[in-house]
A and B are shown apart, each in its own frame.
Chain A
């Protein structure tokens, strides 16, 4: 059974700092990995999707990497801003690719 872990559960950084969020998964036979952002009381917004054949995917100040062999993905946020404050979740397909398993998320607070 695929399990997805995100550590730390919460992170607080000063504005302008570069930071890395971690995602670990137990079954390395994944097809892709997706990073989401969730604002309080809202749904999830897709940030980046990395295919298993890719090692990196970039969008603006966000860069996601994938290392299937070690079962890890990282989300790098450059020059953090208060507007980046949210919970960040990663997710991978599971159950014969009919379902998606989510991590529990990292709650990020960027302090002005």
Chain B
């Protein structure tokens, strides 16, 4: 079955540590997105990529980094510069470029501070 796989489902970060969240899709979608979801605040865009080897900052990119070396993979690194990383992180993809096509989501990674 085609879909988006996020791993791990739960992740714990120590002070000063960088952690990487995995997102893999086998839908052959060009565009991929990372969102952060906090209670009562909806989804906020961290980074997005419309094509391999290119990505753009979203609304809350500070303290995060991404790479897009392969079409099917869009990992997100939460760096030590992100002082409040506790949240639910969602990866999404869409066919074609831009936000004009339906977005498909993974099941998320919940990140907590130890």
Give the B-binding residues of A (Cβ under 8 A).
4, 9, 31-32, 34, 36, 41-46, 49, 89, 91, 93-95, 97-100, 102-105
Contact = CB atoms under 8 A, between A and B. Distances in A.
Contacts of A94: 99
B29 interface: no
Interface string B42-53: 110100101000
A41 B99 contact: no
Determine the interface band of chain B, counting residues with CB < 8 A from chain A. Answer: 20 to 34
B82 interface: no
| B interface secondary structure, majority | strand
A89 B42 contact: yes
A75 to B, nearest CB: 16
Interface of B: 4, 6, 33, 35, 40-43, 45, 48, 50, 56, 58, 88, 90, 92, 98-100, 102-108, 110
A32 B99 CA distance: 9
Contact of B105 (A4, A44, A97, A99): A44
Contacts of B41: 104
B85 to A, nearest CB: 18
B108 A97 contact: no
